[in-house]
Amino acid sequence: MAGGKKRWTIGEAETTPEKLFFSRRALLGLRGGAAPGLTVAGLGLDRIASTQAEEPAAPLPAASPNGRFRAAGPMTAAEDFTSYNNFYEFGFSKDIVRAAQRLKTSPWRIVVDGACDHPFEIDVDDLLEKVALEERIYRQRCVEAWSMVIPWTGFQLAELVKMASPKAEAKYLRMETFHDPKVAPMQSAPQYPWPYVEGLTLAEATNELAFLAVGAYGKSLAKQNGAPLRLVTPWKYGFKSAKSLTRFTFTAKRPVTFWQELGPREYGFWANVNPGVAHPRWTQAYERRIGDDERVPTRLFNGYAEEVAGLYTGLESEKLYM
Ligand SMILES: Nc1nc2c(c(=O)[nH]1)N[C@H]1C(S)=C(S)[C@@H](COP(=O)(O)O)O[C@H]1N2
Ligand SMILES: [Mo]
């Protein structure tokens, strides 16, 4: 990992919520019972350590900066963004770069289905010819209380929604990450509800902030960052921004998300950033800025209240901030 160990020691040891669910012991313990045959070696953890190096990023079509979305504050170094990652399909640490290189991201087909008038399937390369690519600099706030500032290239999720033309009964958009245990070793761990699932209300999905990224720092997304297509919802905790998406489904029923299913007392459907609502195990009032390790105050909706606060009027009885 870039920058050596020292910088991450405190944060990762104390606030990685996923340690609760993803410790090696938990993995091998498998619902408390014995797990004959399932070992770390059996999951391919030994093999991924020697997988090939990171591929050079593919070229990305030109995208003009959208001046309305330029988060203030120091931009995170590209090397930090591409080397300090959460992508549990490939491992439980922040250091999953090499393991993620096993993912084959081209060609990549996505399915758009469910309650819509125009369901479709399309290769991401073809999709990119139908949308307006732009660059937006967004803050990213992980529920583990660290943050980055990232220049994404992509397009509004609303564009994809519009192509599908959802029916009146569609209230939610469910999104699903690829599922291939041969490629992603942790997907062989049966006690986790793979594939990774996330969801938004249709109002959230069509809010102008909701973004589908295909690149960052002017290049195609690296595999460890969720190539070739990932969600970016900057007003929500980072776990909502699901990586390497393959399926978008319109539904009347609220989807149960991956983290909700694993830890319903700690993670919910909404996951809006709020410094005033603590995680059960740590405060959310501050965040550690990746790069200079500065401890800075967290802002309501991660600084995007003006754009999104209105989405939640009338929903005060919901657990909006976990
Ligand atoms: N499929 C998938 N998407 C995921 C995750 C994951 O484990 N699997 N981790 C989430 C979390 S917790 C965060 S903070 C961000 C991290 O994105 P980055 O590594 O590109 O900075 O991705 C999110 N998307
Ligand atoms: Mo996260």
- Cα separation, 57 vs 240, whole angstroms: 24
Q: How confident is the model at residue 60, as a pLDDT?
A: 87
Q: What is the mean pLDDT of residues 288-294?
A: 97
Mean pLDDT of the chain: 88
Residue pair 273/298 in contact (Cβ under 8 Å)? The answer is: yes
- Token pair of 43, please? 């999951």
52-56-58-61 Cα dihedral, nearest 10 degrees: 150
Q: How far is the CA of 19 from the centre of ligand 1 (A)?
A: 15
Q: Give the pLDDT score at 160.
A: 98
Centre of ligand 2 from the C-alpha of residue 167, in Å: 32
How many Å is the Cα radius of gyration of the chain?
A: 19
Q: Using the structure block, give the residue that is written with the tokens 């929604």.
A: 161
What is the average pLDDT across 100-120? 98
Residue 181 CB contacts under 8 Å (≥ 6 apart), including other chains: 187, 188, 194
Higher pLDDT, 190 or 23: 190
User: What token pair was written down for 7?
Assistant: 């910088």
Neighbours of ion ligand 2 (CB under 5 A): 86, 142, 238-239
Q: Does ligand 1 come within 6 angstroms of the Cβ of 257?
A: no
For the cut 80, the answer to whether the pLDDT of residue 49 exceeds it is no
Q: Is the CB of 233 under 6 A from ligand 1?
A: no
Q: Summarize the confidence of residues 31-46 as an average pLDDT.
A: 37
pLDDT in tens, 199-255: 999 999 999 999 999 999 999 999 999 999 999 999 999 999 999 999 999 999 999
Q: Which ligand is nearest to the CA of 233?
A: 1
Band (57; pLDDT cuts 50, 70, 90): low
Rounded to the nearest 5°, which phi and psi values hold at 136? Answer: -130, 135
pTM given for the model: 0.88
Its sign, for the CA torsion 14, 138, 158, 284, is positive
pLDDT bucket at 41, cuts 50 / 70 / 90: very low
Lowest-pLDDT range of 33-47, 86-100, 123-137: 33-47
Tell me how far apart the alpha carbons of residues 118 and 206 are, in angstroms, rounded to a whole number.
17
Task: Fill in the DSSP letter of residue 240.
Answer: G
CB 151 near ligand 1, within 6 Å: no
- Tell me the sheet residues that pair with 166: 116
Confidence band (pLDDT; 50, 70, 90) for 61?
confident
CA-proximal residue: ligand 1, atom 12 (nearest): 239
Bigger pLDDT: 34 or 279?
A: 279
What is the predicted pLDDT for the residue at 92?
Answer: 93
Average pLDDT over residues 276-295: 98
Give me the long-range contacts of 47-51 (CB less than 8 A, separation at least 24): 48/90, 48/91, 48/98, 48/99, 48/102, 48/185, 49/98, 51/98, 51/99, 51/101, 51/102
Say what the pLDDT of residue 34 is.
Answer: 32
| Protein residue whose Cα sits closest to atom 1 of ligand 1 | 243
Torsion angle of alpha carbons 196, 3, 97, 135, nearest 10°? 70
DSSP string, 36-104: TT--TTTTTHHHHTTPPPPPPPPP----EEEEEEE--SPPPPHHHHTTS---GGG-SSS--HHHHTT--
Atom of ligand 1 lying closest to residue 231 CA: 24
Alpha carbon distance 206, 228 (integer Å): 21
Q: What is the pLDDT of residues 187-210, one digit of tens each?
A: 999 889 999 999 999 999 999 999
- Cα distances from 261 to residues 96, 152, 193, 239, 253, in angstroms, run 23, 29, 7, 13, 16
CA 142 – ligand 1 centroid, Å: 9
Mutation test of ligand 1: which of 18, 83, 86 has the most ligand atoms closer than 8 Å to its C-beta? 86
How confident is the model at residue 53, as a pLDDT? 59
- The answer to whether the CB of 78 falls within 8 A of the CB of 148 is no
Q: Is 237 in the pocket of ligand 1 (CB under 6 A)?
A: no
